[in-house]
Structure 1
């Protein structure tokens, strides 16, 4: 992998075998699989965001210095970043009933997030940086279960296993703290006998280094040494792909705008993977006049409620806090989704939880509970685009059509009842009744470029993530997920990306040499 200046004349002339738009975990998975299986292919990967870390795409939680972490967060916050020079890892005010919440390293949609009397997605947020949301996520990687699964893929389990390898997923790294054992035992004793899936330690994309510190997985881990050592892979930051170019419905390349100079240039390629996220992938396709009927539709957020309890009867703990935003004692317990109990539960010790607590506590004594609900998926829940108005990057402005159904409201009401009951297994409530987060707060948007087994107008891409009717055009990310999953979607989106990358690796023919391509485009 080489990181190149987006204004480079060489790269303006470069014609790639594969262009990848976006560097989040899904885009990184395409680069990794192609580097493993087809190192002969020339891969050019663009991101509108800045390079935050070395290696590219690392999680900002790995930046121990608060000022460095804050700087990386500000660089991720789009065209109008916040003005603070302090890291906001504590997420003060997050556990509130505010109509809109924003996390460090993300930025909100400024308009079009709520139309008429609809619920909308007022907390819909983005990150723009090399590594995408993979530089800011919680690293939770549970496997989907029961109706969450994509069962028309015969190799789905193997894909999940490979995704765990690429993400560096482990259920062991943070499972051995005294508080984590206590929490899991109380949860298991109260829940396992009446559920088809048992309470467990949350699978997390994190590893413990030789010095005992934690390294949280971002796209750097997905890229791996295979991509970083691939001389045929180039990464271009601060380069916005504005158009996927086609001829007779066949991909011929992309148009790129250099965000440093404002100049645009074309890159030729017969294969393009758009992994821009669940909102900006359909935005790019729409801007390119690629508009299959399901594009942007079946938009799926995860309604979310949170609760916090102070654990009862906790023995005194000897604790030592490490530098950085995450305490070594932190643990995350998992209450898996089931069809009978349709919620995905995360129970997180305070140091790993987005629910702050201001009182005097012993480390690990307060835990936050987060219950994610599946959405009643409907075609009318969608993002569409304005043909005249533009966003901060000059792309078509988004308009969100999104509402809760009676089924969604019943599920949310039930989730509130269950989260209180589960909290009672552990201890005493900290801030009273559970809080329902505003729609969009999950950051787990799905379905807008959904995968399907047949081209029936209800999906955007086939089982290999290739857009129906557009040979050479692939989509990637959470938007491809076709089911109503309640669990964290990153593992699933990487699994689906692996399948798409393997299809490209199998079918792609190597093209001209780099020198020949440069000459032809000079």
Structure 2
């Protein structure tokens, strides 16, 4: 049995894990990131879209995405109760495949106990480290025409949350777009100690005694002797399902909220051919477009018009199409939950799970109201006379599953971690990623989870420096 000794071990290399690892490495901490999948795309954590950022490269990107999305543990069947839920096992996780839309949350999407002013610096820092730019597509012919059409279709939104260009996590490097992923967040540590990445290893146990962890045990994905990683701090950032599984498998007392309060985004999606007046005289190298109808208190859903990595409608050029996607907020409900079967193991050696996640009557009403806007936007930008490919994703299909390790202000049984992501009953175990986001919302959660993960990393630094 081999072993490593580090300051911090991070389980998972997606947005949450790479944020914490890079931030701590920047401060000089020795960090090891453990990932269940392999290094992909030539560079640890590189975004698949960066393989070819041209418009023609969208089709290849789509092929990669469809190949990399799998059921958890690369199973041939979905998790019971989550027919639409897919993950990606590889360095960078799903963050290496995401669509790069990075909307800022409305105050109504944040926990009621949270003082937004306390988080303002972390949202600003998240925008910086993710290279979020609302103007990256500025000047595009299609973008400006789609923006105008969408503004005409959706009115009456509050100031600051009107229809606008979507902030996109991308920047120009040597004249080409580079989409942000885990490689960028790990690179926070360039002037410090770069995190080590242990790929193709599954963490099955957090070692702990008397409320304090001493490391983790990881098993090679292809078989072989386990690896023990001794660490002063453990960060679990392996996704909403897997984070809860690991905590349960390790026998950690996380209280009654573990696995409860699951949230998803019911998602409506329509593929259209853009209207002739939008496509007229579009230049050959027209920039990308992504238009955003934001969430607000009286508008608890968001709609996006952009290019999704999927096969275009038959008979059209790929660049003539657009996807209208609406994410709808769900009610918070502790009965939407994960159940653990400790006697049965999944392919990763963790407790088998099943999920109960249903829409409430209020959710159904909200979805129906969002659907009306969804159609108006589709008709405003799309040539509906040619038809449209509409679908509603299965439960879990948004790839935004959240809440299994819900964050809260006090240890009252309704949350798993405190406001910094630390497990209530553990001195040195933290959770990062979608798992901690437990308030009703509809904005893509990546930007918010990165802000939360930066705050978690700073909390770890404060605690370790105080020792």
In structure 2, which of residues 380, 385, 390 is the aligned counterpart of residue 425 of structure 1?
A: 380
1:400 alignment partner, one of 320, 330, 355: 355
Number of aligned residue pairs: 456
Q: Is the 8 A contact 1:150 1:156 kept in 2?
A: no
Q: Which of 189, 195, 206 is equivalent to 2:152? A: 189
Partner of residue 294 from structure 1, selected from 257, 270, 273: 257
Change in 2 beyond 3 A, CA 1:246/1:315 = closer
Distance 2:79 2:346 in 1: 13
What residue number does 2:206 align with?
A: 244
The alpha-carbon distance between structure 1 residues 194 and 464, as it changes in their structure 2 partners (threshold 3 A), is closer
Q: Following TM superposition, by how much is the alpha carbon of 1:305 offset from its aligned partner in structure 2, in angstroms?
A: 0.7
- Asked if the contact 1:148/1:484 (under 8 Å) is kept, the reply is yes
Are 1:387 and 2:342 counterparts? yes
Residues 330 and 364 of structure 1 are in contact (CA less than 8 Å); yes or no, is this contact kept in structure 2? no
Deviates more, 1:411-420 or 1:443-452: 411-420
> Is residue 2:132 matched to residue 1:174?
no
- Counting only pairs closer than 5 Å after superposition, residues 433-452 of structure 1 correspond to structure 2 as 434-452=390-408
CA distance in 2, matches of 1:284, 1:422: 42
Q: Distance in 2 between matches of 1:65 and 1:433?
A: 25
Q: In the alignment, what sits opposite 1:138?
A: 99
Counterpart residue number, 2:244: 282
CA contact (8 A) 2:146 2:278 kept: no
Q: Which of 3, 14, 33 pairs up with 1:45?
A: 33
For structure 1, which runs of at least 5 residues remain unmatched after alignment?
Answer: 1-8, 71-85, 92-101, 115-119, 322-327, 512-522
**Match for residue 25 of structure 2?**
35
Evaluate the alpha carbon distance shift between residue 261 and residue 335 of structure 1 in structure 2; reply closer, same or farther with a 3 A threshold. same
The equivalent of 1:113 in structure 2 is: 79
SS in 1 for 2:154: helix
Q: Which residue of 2 aligns with 1:255?
A: 217
Do the aligned residues in 1 keep the contact of 2:153 with 2:376 (CA within 8 Å)? no
| Corresponding residue for residue 12 of structure 2 | 22
> Residue in 2 aligned with 1:209?
173
CA distance in 2, matches of 1:487, 1:205: 15
TM (norm. structure 1) is 0.82
Residues 232/176 of structure 1: CA separation in 2 closer, same or farther (3 Å cut): closer
What is the distance in 2 between the residues matched to 1:49 and 1:111?
Answer: 19
C-alpha displacement of 1:330 = 2.5
Structure 1 stretch 311-320 or stretch 201-210: which is displaced more?
311-320
Q: 1:466 to 1:343 in 2, by over 3 A?
A: same
- Contact 2:49–2:61 (8 Å) recurs in 1: no
* Pair 1:218 & 2:181 matched: yes
Check conservation: 2:34, 2:202, Cα contact below 8 A.
yes
Deviation at 1:356, TM superposition (A): 2.2
Q: Which of 436, 441, 464 matches 2:420?
A: 464
Paired with 2:43 and 2:68, the residues of 1 have a C-alpha distance of 18
Question: Residues 347 and 108 from structure 1, CA distance in 2 versus in 1: closer, same or farther, beyond 3 angstroms?
Answer: same
Match of 2:289 in 1: 331
